[in-house]
Chains A and B, each alone.
Chain A
Amino acid sequence: MAAGVAAWLPFARAAAIGWMPVASTPMPIPPQDKRKAQDGLIILNVSGTKFQTWRTTLERYPDTLLGSTERDFFFHEETSEYFFDRDPDIFRHILNFYRTGKLHYPRQECISAYDEELAFFGIIPEIIGDCCYEEYKDRRRENAERLQDDEEMDMNNDVTPVNLTFREYLWRAFENPHTSTLALVFYYVTGFFIAISVMANVVETVPCGTLPNRSKEMSCGDRYALAFFCLDTACVMIFTVEYLLRLIAAPSRCKFMKSVMSVIDVVAIMPYYIGLVMTDNDQVSGAFVTLRVFRVFRIFKFSRHSAGLRILGYTLKSCASELGFLLFSLTMAIIIFATVMFYAEKGSTATKFTSIPAAFWYTIVTMTTLGYGDMVPKTIVGKVFGSICSLSGVLVIALPVPVIVSNFSRIYHQSQRAEKRRAQRKTRLARIRAAKIRGTNAYMRYKQNGLLIDALEEVAGQALVGKAASPPFESQHHHLLHCLEKTTNHEFVDEQTFQANCMEISVVNKSGSRTSSLSSSPHGLSSCCSRRHRKKSSFSLPSTNNQELSTIQIRERPVSNSRSSLNAKLDKTMPLKCDEAYISPSMVRLSAPVATSSDDTSTATTTYSQSNIVRVSAL
């Protein structure tokens, strides 16, 4: 509160002597300042950049890191300074906050980096000064939107279309045409037919030359009535089928029927059916003709095909208030000027300004600078007001337009950014995956090196340390993973090995003629294997890692006859030529999946721990 003017507190207290002679009651005892530490300098070393400030400056805000005893944790004895391993550029702003009481947000800094620093030093961002608060909030909002988009995309695209019902599958095909070729074909076909239908409506009205027995020129629609009718029927059939399919597939039918696109669909095909019903009734043929106008709404169906159209529609919706203002001010101006023009032109003879509503037309045409010239003022007063009208028209219309344009631009750029992120997602995921595989391989090598050394020490008593030592962090990490393995009595393997083993076990499971130590839980296995099937990945041979291991382990192939018996019972043709290295009896190898397939890991490990398969060499 008064921390900004903390330097003046001694003054305020001293001036309180002025109250003493008039005080009604005795004064309270002043607080004892136990920490009467002299105002000393504190050195703050932030990643090498030294900042210095008075101790009292920092202690103005005692609930932050620097202002409280929490900073003692960062005190570096040898240099008797406080060392922080943080970003010095952002720290500058944080220190300025202590000095001036105002927190500023630098525009060039990343918002998440800044937020992290604030959180570290215990400063709440709400106290950012007014000068920088808008910018900060905007950046924060953008960041949050980006994160939300990412999450949504994750949720959308990670769900592999496996166990979806036919209905869900259909809906998904409609909404995202690029998911399957059939959906794509459907998408383009409907687009084509929309175009055909609209063009037919247009060409229908073009004059097509005269028939020999008629003097009047006929439109193409009348001349080739049957052809156009067939075309129209075909298009409407396609649209109807599409609409019905969408209706069936929609997860929430009521919501679907209320949506804009569905309304457009209905309006596009209704005239045809109504026309079918009432063709022979002359009385309502006028109404029928009107209905045909609604066929033009088919062109709006294109908005499913074009993102730009959707953005335009969305822009208009979001600028509703600006548009409303435009409309309102235009109406006001029209009424005012029409009235004025009417009364100005009332006197002149044979004037076209017969009434105020008639003058509306003149006003609108003038204000939008069209100037058809069908209604023109003749009196001088009329001309004067007419010119004022046209000048003001330019102004009134030009004002809200930039707002609408900027809205459109903002939304359009947002959608472009979303597209770009989607495109970058694939490379990003590939990178993450590659990193995981690297980690797994490194761990395998570590284990292999360890075992190699153990085995060879027994054999030759010499250490085979040919490789460069891995950095201490890595070796400690690998040791940790190894300890976990020993704890749970399972092993980490990579994805390929896991799948291969899974296949093995499914084979084994089917045969059922294994040793009694096979206490597998079938359904867990089948789930894991079926999951693998669902992934549609090919059955790969075990990776080279295992084969390297096989050099030191006893490698035994299963006895051929049992293998052949398995073959006989198999109904799936699986490549069984995996050169599996079977484990020596002393070391039980249990396959547990590594965290490469993140979505399957947890369930797979549990199934495996339940299954507790012990594969021993075939005997």
Chain B
Amino acid sequence: LSMVRHQPEGLDQLQAQTQFTRKELQSLYRGFKNECPSGLVDEETFKTIYSQFFPQGDATTYAHFLFNAFDMDRNGSIRFEDFVLGLSVLLRGSVTEKLRWAFNLYDINKDGYITKEEMLAIMTSIYDMMGRYTLPSVRDDSPFEHVEKFFQKMDRNRDGVVTIDEFIETCQRDENIMASMQLFENVI
């Protein structure tokens, strides 16, 4: 338990930076502070919290990727501002912003390209969350096949990597994906 404490910026500034109302910000902060009294979430705590929602499988790897996606300044801990900014994009942002966020999640080394290895790592971590008791059971090459399908769809110029434009373009053409992006509007 670190002695570092962090206080977020004022409510007004956050309100300006994000798309949340005052009440929503208050509610979000109360939940955040309840779990992390010090005001900072480190990776271990984050993994613990996230794993509680997926008890059957192992959510730690995916939580690691998620943590990196939220921790924008790469300092190893998520402050309330990072948390709220990320949520603002996810819940109140435009479809393009959401897609950009997803791309950022998949691009592990943040170099602007999604390689097959990166995608495989992401996919394996998602399948890990399912755990062992699934129907039909997860075979060892299920993630790999899934990655192949993904690349076939996304990689237009067959150069082995997916760029941000390819990604956004392909997603905008897929109705299912567009519909699912609107799914979590009313979460808060």
Question: Contact at B35–A22, with CB atoms within 8 Å?
Answer: no
Interface size class of A (residues with CB under 8 A): 20 to 34
Q: Contact flags (1/0) for A318-353 with B, using CB distance below 8 Å?
A: 000000000000000000000000000000000000
Q: Within 8 Å CB of A5, what residues of B?
A: 35, 49, 52-53
Query: In the bound complex, what is the Cα–Cα distance between A94 and B115 (angstroms)?
Result: 53
Instruction: Tell whether, in the assembled complex, residue B52 and residue A14 are in contact, meaning their CB atoms are under 8 Å apart.
Output: no
Is B101 engaged at the interface, CB distance under 8 Å to the other chain? yes
The interface stretch among A23-31, A408-416, A466-474 is: A23-31
**Quick one: closest A residue to B174, CB to CB?**
A21
Partner of B180, one of A1, A9, A23, A38: A23
Minimum CB–CB distance from B33 to chain A (whole Å) comes to 9
**How many angstroms from the CA of A13 to the CA of B171 in the assembled complex?**
20
Across the interface, do B101 and A17 meet the contact criterion of CB distance under 8 Å? yes
Which A residue's beta carbon lies closest to that of B48? A5
Given contacts A21-B99, A22-B126, contact A27 B180 (CB under 8 A): yes
- Are the CB atoms of A30 and B102 closer together than 8 Å? no
Q: Which residues 19-59 of B sit at the A interface, judged by CB distance below 8 A?
A: 23, 27-28, 30-32, 34-35, 49-50, 52-53, 55
Chain B contacts for A116, CB-based, 8 A:
none
Assess whether A19 is interfacial by the CB under 8 Å rule.
yes
Size of B's binding interface in residues, CB under 8 A: 43
Min CB–CB distance A557 → chain B (angstroms)? 85
Of A7, A17, A39, A54, which one neighbours B98 at CB under 8 angstroms? A17
B-contact 0/1 string along A346-371, CB 8 Å cutoff? 00000000000000000000000000
A73 within 8 A of B: no
Contacts of B49 in A (CB 8 A): 5, 8
B179 is an interface residue with CB less than 8 A from chain A = yes
Please tell me which one of the listed residues A8, A13, A54 contacts residue B35 in the complex, with CB atoms under 8 A apart: A8
- On whether the beta carbons of A24 and B146 are closer than 8 Å, the reply is yes
Decide: A18 near B105, CB < 8 A? Known: A8-B31, A27-B183, A30-B183: yes
Contacting residues, chain B, for A127 (C-beta < 8 A): none
Interface string of A144-175 (1 = CB under 8 A from B): 00000000000000000000000000000000
Contacts of B181 in A (CB 8 A): 17, 20
The residue that B52 contacts in the complex, of A2, A21, A27, with Cβ under 8 A, is A2
User: 1/0 per residue B92-105: CB within 8 Å of A?
Assistant: 00000011011001
Instruction: Determine if A15 is an interface residue (Cβ-Cβ < 8 Å).
Output: yes
| A12 close to B (CB within 8 Å) | yes
For window 102-117 of chain B, which residues contact chain A by CB distance below 8 Å?
Answer: 102, 105-106
Interface centre among A7, A16, A30 (most CB of B within 10 A): A7
Known contacts A12-B50, A21-B171; A30 and B186 CB within 8 A of each other: yes
